[in-house]
């Protein structure tokens, strides 16, 4: 951490060049003694990545930024704030603290946060930024979080772990046993020091594989932002052996779409199938990732079009965790059917359909856009179907 960057001159330079091409900055003659032009370029590049993802950091003067990879790997403010809502108490240990975004939001709910980060430079940066942000209840520990835990006499209300998904031997990984630290291997020591563990994993991780790799899973939270799944969160409670709750949330600019179900009850749910009716429903990305396809139909009293399509229908419009459409017409799929619609522009979605979106556009000469939505799918008897719809705003 080069503290000269925090001086007024370099800070003004960073602000003035925030929209400047990075190559232009790198080729400029170094204007400040003791600061390499590459360092200024890295600050500008990393700060730019915070504009949407971490607006609190972006708009706060004298924040010091690590390399852009650390920013890419950190939680967004939106997901960090959601995680904080899952915790309470007097103490939390962040085993893999990183840039410190999660620790910052935990510190707004919990009395004392212990932020462990094995990379000493990154730990120093996070500690500096906590002070700049006025958060005084975070203790920075520049060391391996697991080793700190082994040598600590503390008991914590919560332990939070976000294992690194970059393994020196295997490259980019997402299975928990391949991440660093290997959480399944270290769970016993964690449960010696806490009753509650919160684990963040890759959105690519299969939920059932995550449950199998961990112990005492009480809840799994599938967190999406603007209909893109960003994180899976596993809540562990020592000696918990009850039913596992799956909680889904899609955080949009206008609302939070939530849907919860019991994992054990999903298989027991009875599903009803029918031909498309007046309204069509497409679950949001969090619900689709959760695998609660039967539960969502039962909860909202909807029928499915096909066991593998994950599209639902009803006679009357209802509120729903996902997109809603008014069905204008439902036709058997054929070139003649598509031609009869007279559409040159439409939004196309395929669900359980043998032809890709790109192929459909090319074959039927339909451009992207407009206010019509075409769903290419299958009916309950496996016949190919196209649904011509208009979107209903939530």
Summarize pLDDT for 309-330 with one digit per residue, the tens. 999 999 999 999 999 999 999 9
In the predicted model, is pLDDT for residue 174 greater than 90?
Answer: no
Please choose, from the candidates 101, 110, 210, 96, the residue with its C-alpha nearest in 3D space to the C-alpha of residue 142.
96
In degrees rounded to 5, what are phi and psi of residue 310? 55, 40
- The whole-number pLDDT of residue 26 equals 84
In the predicted model, is pLDDT for residue 9 greater than 70?
Answer: yes
Is pLDDT larger for residue 29 or for residue 265? 265
- The whole-number pLDDT of residue 283 equals 97
Interatomic CA distance for residues 164 and 179, integer angstroms: 6
| Whether 102 and 226 share a structural domain | yes
The answer to the question of residue 248 being in a domain is no
| Whether 109 and 64 share a structural domain | no
| Whether 60 and 85 share a structural domain | no
Domain end point (choices 18, 38, 68): 68
Domain end point (choices 68, 85, 104): 68
- Reported as a single tens digit per residue, the pLDDT across 118-157 is 999 999 999 999 999 999 999 999 999 999 999 999 999 9
- Reported as a single tens digit per residue, the pLDDT across 29-66 is 878 888 888 999 999 999 999 999 999 999 999 999 99
In the predicted model, is pLDDT for residue 168 greater than 80?
Answer: no
In the predicted model, is pLDDT for residue 371 greater than 80?
Answer: yes
Q: What is the CA radius of gyration of the chain?
A: 25
| Whether 208 and 295 share a structural domain | no
Q: Sorting pLDDT into bands at 50, 70 and 90, what band is 170? A: low
The answer to the question of residue 97 being in a domain is yes
- The whole-number pLDDT of residue 173 equals 67
- The whole-number pLDDT of residue 28 equals 80
Report DSSP letters for 31-87, one per residue. Answer: -STT--HHHHHHHHHHHHHHHHH-HHHHTSTT-----HHHHHHSPPHHHHHHHHTT-
The answer to the question of residue 14 being in a domain is yes
| Whether 93 and 207 share a structural domain | yes
Q: Are 376 and 386 in contact (CB under 8 A)?
A: yes
Q: Sorting pLDDT into bands at 50, 70 and 90, what band is 244? A: very high
| Whether 62 and 79 share a structural domain | no
The answer to the question of residue 258 being in a domain is no
The CATH code of the domain that includes 33 is 1.10.10.1110
The pLDDT mean for the chain works out to: 93
DSSP letter, residue 324: E
The full length of the chain comes to 394
Total domain count for the chain?
3
Is pLDDT larger for residue 121 or for residue 267? 121
| Whether 221 and 92 share a structural domain | yes
The CATH code of the domain that includes 107 is 3.40.50.150
Task: With residue 9 as reference, give the H or E element that holds it.
Answer: helix 8-16
| Whether 273 and 378 share a structural domain | yes
Q: Sorting pLDDT into bands at 50, 70 and 90, what band is 171? A: low
Residues spanned by the domain of 356:
268-392
The answer to the question of residue 260 being in a domain is no
CA distances from 69 to 24, 124, 201 (A): 21, 17, 17
Mean local confidence (pLDDT), 233-256: 95
- The whole-number pLDDT of residue 25 equals 81
Interatomic CA distance for residues 302 and 282, integer angstroms: 11
The answer to the question of residue 256 being in a domain is no
Interatomic CA distance for residues 129 and 138, integer angstroms: 11
| Whether 318 and 302 share a structural domain | yes
Mean local confidence (pLDDT), 242-259: 95
- The whole-number pLDDT of residue 6 equals 92
The answer to the question of residue 114 being in a domain is yes
Angle separating helix axes 8-16 and 37-53, nearest 10 degrees: 60
| Whether 273 and 313 share a structural domain | yes
| Whether 205 and 273 share a structural domain | no
**Counting beta carbons within 10 angstroms of the beta carbon of residue 100, is it exposed (0 to 12), middle (13 to 18) or buried (19 or more)?**
buried
The CATH code of the domain that includes 363 is 3.30.2130
In the predicted model, is pLDDT for residue 308 greater than 80?
Answer: yes
Domain end point (choices 49, 68, 87): 68
The answer to the question of residue 120 being in a domain is yes
| Whether 93 and 194 share a structural domain | yes
């Amino acid at each position: 951490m080069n503290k000269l960057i925090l001086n007024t001159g370099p800070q003004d330079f960073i602000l003035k060049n925030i929209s400047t091409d990075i190559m232009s900055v790198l080729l400029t003659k170094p204007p400040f003694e003791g600061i390499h032009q590459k360092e200024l370029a890295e600050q500008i590049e990393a700060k730019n990545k915070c504009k949407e993802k971490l607006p609190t950091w972006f708009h706060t003067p004298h924040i010091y930024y690590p390399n852009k990879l650390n920013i890419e790997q950190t939680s967004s403010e939106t997901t960090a704030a959601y995680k904080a809502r899952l915790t309470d108490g007097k103490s939390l240990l962040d085993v893999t603290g990183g840039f410190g975004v999660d620790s910052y939001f935990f510190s707004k709910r919990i009395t004392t946060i212990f932020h462990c980060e094995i990379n000493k430079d990154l730990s120093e940066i996070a500690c500096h930024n906590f002070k700049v942000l006025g958060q005084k209840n975070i203790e920075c520990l520049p060391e391996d979080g697991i080793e700190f835990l082994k040598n600590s006499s503390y008991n914590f209300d919560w332990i939070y772990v976000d294992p690194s998904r970059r393994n020196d031997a295997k490259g980019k990984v997402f299975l928990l046993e391949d991440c660093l630290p290997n959480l399944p291997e270290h769970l016993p020591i964690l449960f010696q020091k806490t009753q509650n563990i919160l684990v963040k994993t890759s959105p690519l991780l299969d939920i059932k594989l995550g449950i199998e790799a961990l112990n005492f899973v009480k809840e799994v939270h599938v967190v999406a932002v603007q209909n893109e799944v960003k994180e899976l969160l596993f809540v562990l409670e020592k000696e918990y052996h009850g039913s596992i709750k799956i909680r889904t949330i899609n955080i949009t600019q206008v609302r939070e779409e939530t849907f919860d179900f019991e994992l054990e009850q999903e298989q027991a749910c009875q599903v009803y199938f029918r031909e498309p009716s007046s309204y069509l429903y497409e679950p949001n990305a969090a619900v689709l990732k959760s695998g609660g396809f039967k539960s969502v139909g039962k909860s909202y009293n909807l029928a499915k079009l096909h066991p593998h399509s994950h599209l639902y229908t009803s006679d009357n419009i209802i509120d729903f965790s996902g997109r809603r459409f008014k069905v204008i017409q439902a036709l058997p799929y054929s070139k003649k059917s598509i031609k009869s619609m007279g559409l040159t522009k439409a939004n196309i979605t395929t669900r359980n359909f043998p032809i890709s979106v790109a192929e459909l556009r090319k074959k039927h000469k339909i451009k992207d856009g407009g206010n019509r939505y075409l769903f290419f799918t299958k009916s309950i008897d496996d016949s190919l179907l196209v649904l011509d719809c208009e979107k209903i705003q939530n």
